[in-house]
């Protein structure tokens, strides 16, 4: 099959519709520390609830590439009186992970990273118990189990807008789209940040509630364990189609204030200037044997 390097003006545009088709996996919510949530939020986001939600899913039919797996942690925030989800961190694996990461970061500013191996993100089921695990660079970051039946706390159904088969549910999310430019000394510097508002729509095929048990851990490069689990609220096994609808710029916060709270979920430690350089990539766990030979 021949490919074209130079495209026509019509061809040289990104597909405007992004659908995560045939998405399936575990969704979970737990009560956490409101002070911790407030501390990690870039301005002008404000914490809405002391809750953290996330998922571990397989996206089997994305409209923009090959299938991939994705895990996410997010918190609930308020902006100008509107409550929505602020996704703190995404990790991806599988054949479509590269394209999903590039599009997520470049189109909307999502904090996405790629795992080393496809099976770094796993979903398993034994009877009525499902389990999702997430690793990156050899370090376990998330271990969540779901026992189908009822939520840990019935009120969590309202957080999810009480999904049901054939039901459509919409929700607002907020992202920070960042722009690197050379400064007067020729060094790359963040000169501009857009605060983005996005409406997404879930079309549910399956929603099976359950009790969740969430365990989070931090590694040098991925501080997922920053959120303490005070109480498991509940979750579900879901099969759905997710459509990312229109994006709107709703603000231009200061890069100097925003970027310190975004860097660790967008880049590994070895890419950052400050800090102890002995903790670079070659000293992560899977490379210690290599270093010992040096």
Q: How many domains does the chain have?
A: 1
- Average pLDDT in the 271-282 region? 59
Domain span including residue 271: 18-292
Site of tokens 């895990």: 71
User: Cβ distance 183 to 189 under 8 Å?
Assistant: yes
Gyration radius (Cα) of the chain, Å = 19
- Rounded to whole angstroms, the Cα distance separating 284 from 265 reads 17
Residue 8 lies in a domain: no
Q: pLDDT tens for residues 209-227?
A: 999 999 999 999 999 999 9
Q: Any idea what the CATH number is for the domain that residue 259 is in? A: 2.40.400.10
Strands (E) across the chain are located at 18-31, 46-62, 68-79, 82-93, 112-114, 121-126, 129-136, 139-148, 168-182, 188-216, 231-251
Q: pLDDT tens for residues 23-78?
A: 999 999 999 999 999 999 999 999 999 999 999 999 999 999 999 999 999 999 99
Give percent of the chain above pLDDT 90: 86
- pLDDT at res. 5: 87
Residue 4 lies in a domain: no
- pLDDT at res. 158: 95
Residue 5 lies in a domain: no
- pLDDT at res. 188: 92
For the entire predicted model, the pTM comes to 0.91
Q: How confident is the model at residue 3 (pLDDT cuts 50, 70, 90)?
A: confident
Residue 10 lies in a domain: no
Residue 1 lies in a domain: no
Phi-psi region of 115 (alpha: psi -120 to 50; beta: other; left: phi over 0): beta
Q: pLDDT tens for residues 120-160?
A: 999 999 999 999 999 999 999 999 999 999 999 999 999 99
Q: Which residues contact 140 (CB under 8 A, 6 or more apart)?
A: 133, 134, 217
Residue 11 lies in a domain: no
With 0-12 / 13-18 / 19 or more C-beta atoms within 10 angstroms meaning exposed / middle / buried, residue 115 is buried
Q: pLDDT tens for residues 253-262?
A: 999 999 999 9
- Residue 279, pLDDT > 60, answer no
Residue 117 lies in a domain: yes
């Amino acid at each position: 099959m021949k490919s074209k390097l130079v495209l026509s003006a019509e061809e040289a545009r990104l597909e405007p519709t992004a659908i995560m088709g045939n998405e399936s996996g575990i969704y979970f919510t737990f009560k956490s520390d409101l002070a911790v949530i407030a501390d990690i939020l870039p301005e002008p986001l404000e914490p809405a609830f002391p809750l953290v939600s996330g998922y571990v899913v397989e996206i089997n039919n994305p409209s923009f590439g090959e299938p991939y797996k994705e895990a996410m942690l997010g918190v609930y925030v308020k902006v100008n009186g509107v409550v929505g989800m602020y996704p703190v961190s995404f990790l991806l694996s599988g054949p479509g992970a590269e394209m999903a990461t590039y599009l997520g970061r470049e189109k909307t500013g999502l904090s996405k990273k790629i795992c080393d191996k496809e099976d770094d993100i796993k979903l398993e089921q034994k009877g009525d118990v499902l389990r999702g695990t997430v690793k990156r660079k050899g370090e376990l970051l998330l271990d969540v189990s779901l026992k189908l039946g009822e939520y840990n706390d019935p009120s969590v159904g309202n957080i999810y807008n009480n999904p049901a088969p054939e039901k459509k549910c919409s929700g607002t999310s907020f992202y920070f789209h960042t722009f690197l430019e050379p400064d007067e000394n020729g060094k790359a510097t963040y000169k501009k940040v857009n605060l983005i508002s996005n409406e997404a729509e879930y079309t549910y095929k399956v929603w099976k509630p359950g009790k969740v048990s969430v365990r989070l851990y931090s590694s040098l490069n991925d501080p997922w364990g920053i959120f303490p689990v005070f109480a498991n609220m509940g979750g579900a096994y879901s099969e759905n189609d997710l459509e990312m609808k229109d994006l709107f710029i709703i603000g231009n916060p200061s890069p100097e204030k925003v970027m310190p709270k975004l860097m660790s979920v967008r880049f590994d430690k070895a890419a950052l200037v400050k800090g102890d350089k002995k903790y670079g990539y070659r000293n992560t766990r899977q490379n210690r044997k290599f270093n010992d030979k040096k």
